[in-house]
Structure 1
């Protein structure tokens, strides 16, 4: 059975096996719907995997983890052992829990406001917000996730490259 820990419980200190997963929603300009941003940040490197979708065509949190994140861990020969999430309903649904159980991944549920510092996925999302949003909405030239995707992919690559460079300098 999958373990679901609260952030106050001890966790294996080897952060190669830990990541943060979050889901954010942004309104599109002119009330044309919402944009879903799924984010997974690798704890030890700060590397971010992200996916954009329109609310109507969005991938589930389990689908994002299974199709985007886990294959990268497999290619690198590392098994994801724990994922930190908030207590949102998207992380308590059956499909997400079934995936964690099948892959033997522990879910660590972060208490609201109880995290020490800002998670890597929050840092990423704040940078996304600063780059692509204005007054709480996506910049007007982006009318859908597909309009944003090209610029976003270039920006995400630059974001991860910048994080990689910072890690080398430390």
Structure 2
């Protein structure tokens, strides 16, 4: 008796009995659709189980064994490694050229398989291969030729700044101001942002304007006090040619001179030369301001600044940065190190 109860509780036996009962019900009713509706089985499955029962009997109503995760025809890891190496040696080549390349090395892999290998390793597109090549060279300390530099600059706006020698926190800061949104009573709101080019540590103040005094305020109220507390000297600030930095009023340049900070100007009409601030601009607009203005109504700059400060604290103190200088560290870790 106990053995029979055990058999009835067996999941395999239960599944077989359920499928047999559906087949019997369809035969009694003479209506497959009604039998499937009563049992909760779709018609495709019903006909599949019926066919297997007719050809294999009760054994055909058992579940098939699971498919192995490792397919016997899978490309060997050594071959995958050579395909990846060839794709990084020639990032602009397509799968047909890569197929011919590895074939010359005695490796016979189809272009379709090569595409699958590249996709599995996040190398399916040309930009992905160029940026992976850049990371490889940065990790191994090898130089890039002029063609590689030109291509990487095309796919990565802030690449040019990577060759700016920055050896410590505070040595070189990037500053800019940009439009983030409009408040009904105040008009257009601008974020005056500063980013440390050594570790991506960022500062920002919101103002209803782009006057030189606003650009000075973020340095006076946030940047310089922070570095003084850390006992880190500030070397220079790089900005674009905006009026807040180079206008008729010389408040900004006078303030930097009084604090012993140099002022550097990048190449005009080329955002790549100030790539750090451009990358921060894209991040903050996408991850904070776009979401904030959609989910909440702001009628004061103070309210928007308070929410922005919360996001910025997470950006600086909690969020790992996967850039070429931080390599997964938080900006505050780079400063403390």
- Are 2:290 and 1:152 aligned? no
Question: In structure 2, do the counterparts of structure 1 residues 126 and 101 end up closer, same or farther at CA, with 3 Å as the change threshold?
Answer: same
Give the drift of 1:114.
Answer: 3.5
Give the unaligned 5+ runs of structure 1. Answer: 1-6
Which residue is equivalent to 2:276? 120
What CA distance in whole angstroms lies between the structure 2 residues aligned with 1:111 and 1:32?
33
- Are 2:264 and 1:105 aligned? no
What CA distance in whole angstroms lies between the structure 2 residues aligned with 1:22 and 1:35?
14
Give the unaligned 5+ runs of structure 2. Answer: 1-159, 330-337
Higher percent of residues as strand? 1
5 Å-filtered alignment, 1:1-170, equals 13-16=166-169, 17-28=171-182, 33-55=187-209, 60-92=214-246, 93-114=249-270, 116=272, 119-130=275-286, 131-133=288-290, 138-139=293-294, 141-164=297-320, 166=322, 167=326, 169=328
Give the drift of 1:40.
Answer: 0.6
Higher percent of residues as helix? 2
> Tell me, what secondary structure is at the counterpart of 1:121?
helix
Q: CA RMSD in A?
A: 3.3
Preserved contact between residue 51 and residue 64 of structure 1 (Cα < 8 Å): yes
Range with greater deviation from structure 2 (113-122 or 101-110): 113-122
What CA distance in whole angstroms lies between the structure 1 residues aligned with 2:306 and 2:212?
17
Preserved contact between residue 38 and residue 64 of structure 1 (Cα < 8 Å): yes
TM-score by length of 2: 0.41
> Tell me, what secondary structure is at the counterpart of 1:104?
coil
> Tell me, what secondary structure is at the counterpart of 1:153?
helix
TM-score by length of 1: 0.76
Preserved contact between residue 15 and residue 44 of structure 1 (Cα < 8 Å): yes
Preserved contact between residue 238 and residue 265 of structure 2 (Cα < 8 Å): yes
> Tell me, what secondary structure is at the counterpart of 2:233?
coil
Which residue is equivalent to 1:3? none
User: Which of 1 and 2 has greater Rg?
Assistant: 2
Post-superposition Cα deviations, 1:84-141, rounded to whole Å, max 9, x if no partner, equal 100111012311111111122111112234454663322222122113237xxx5462
Structure having greater relative contact order (Cα 8 Å, sep ≥ 6): 1
Kindly tell me the number of residue pairs found equivalent between the two proteins: 160
